[in-house]
Structure 1
Amino acid sequence: MPSAPSSSLEGLYLDHHNWLTGWLRRRLGCPDSAADLAQDTFMRLLQARQAPLLNEPRAFLTTVAKRVLCNHYRRQDLERAYLQALAQLPEDLAPSEEHRAIIFETLLELDRLLDGLPLPVKRAFLMAQVDGLSYSAIGVQLGISLATVKRYLNKAAMRCYFAL
């Protein structure tokens, strides 16, 4: 049974960390990943400007942990896609481990920056920035007009600019 609402992040951690880790373990099936994501959940709370006053701390923690879990799955999907793309490269063109790590971190940052944009906008931006396609080539591949390509790329660029 949970105790009275915690007035500090430390109290929230002490009262609910074990419960949250168990909740995540049941969803992930891996105690190590569950412990990491529980820590990530509390790190998010630490990075917030103000500790919230909570009547239902477990419901709040569940909401934050679900977001952390979604990010975890997105990262796994991105990593899997990246590794598949690397596997298709000839061995002599494959980047070094250091460059792989840098590229992957850049992909994660791009994914974070573009989060919330419609899929066609993301695709157009990536086709321009990663694949180096021209606006007309993007329009042909996506089946959209040149004006729409420009609008999509402007929207994505503005998102990146204001996120930084």
Structure 2
Amino acid sequence: MLSDASHPVATLYGDHHDWLYKWLCRRMGDRFDAQDVAHDTFMRVLARRGGIILAEPRSYLTTIAHGLMVDRFRRRAIEQAYLDALAVYPEPETISQEAHAILVETLLEIDRLLCRLGARTRDIFLLAQIEGLSQVEIARHLRLSLPTVKKHLVRAYTECLVLAAG
């Protein structure tokens, strides 16, 4: 990983990689996934700016690894949901690996956006966009005032615009 053994990340890696890998194996049930997440964990540490002086290095590493593990499971769940949705339709034309990857990344980005909205805003946004309900219908359905529904839709649309601009 690092050619300079005196580098703080090299020391951290040498002292804790095997432990982290075993910890991930127990939680993930797959040694290849555990290897990938352990590697990505140390890459995150390496990319971190500032000094690497840690009072609790294992706690720090498990926090990073846990986040990466959750991201990996979430990505797989979204990809599987996409594949399951496709399975109900007649045999489609084959799409390229690149197009598949782009579709999955788009779904992940939508999921990240929806998670940032908050539960009520997300529910209102999905009722409007997916179910096609009007603002009045949403207000009745959720037993909210019309101004509350409008406020949450403005918040959701603003987040979409920020994402599109960024």
Normalised by the length of structure 1, the TM-score is 0.75
**CA distance in 2 between partners of 1:137 and 1:56 (Å):** 53
Q: What is the Cα-based RMSD across aligned positions, in Å?
A: 3.1
Percent of residue pairs identical: 43
- How far off is 1:101 after superposition? 2.2
- How far off is 1:121 after superposition? 2.4
- How far off is 1:39 after superposition? 1.4
- Give the equivalent residue in structure 1 for 2:3: none
- How far off is 1:142 after superposition? 5.5
Matched position secondary structure for 2:50: coil
Structure whose alpha-carbon radius of gyration is higher: 2
- Give the equivalent residue in structure 1 for 2:76: 76
- Give the equivalent residue in structure 2 for 1:117: 117
**CA distance in 2 between partners of 1:156 and 1:61 (Å):** 34
The structure-2 alpha-carbon separation of the partners of 1:89 and 1:113, relative to structure 1 and needing over 3 Å to count, comes to same
- Give the equivalent residue in structure 1 for 2:23: 23
Question: Any stretches of 5+ residues in structure 2 without a counterpart?
Answer: 1-5
- How far off is 1:124 after superposition? 3.8
1:16 and 1:58 in contact (8 A); partners too? yes
**CA distance in 1 between partners of 2:121 and 2:108 (Å):** 17
Equivalenced residue count is 157
2:128 and 2:135 in contact (8 A); partners too? no
Moved over 4 A (4+): 126-129
Question: Any stretches of 5+ residues in structure 1 without a counterpart?
Answer: 1-5
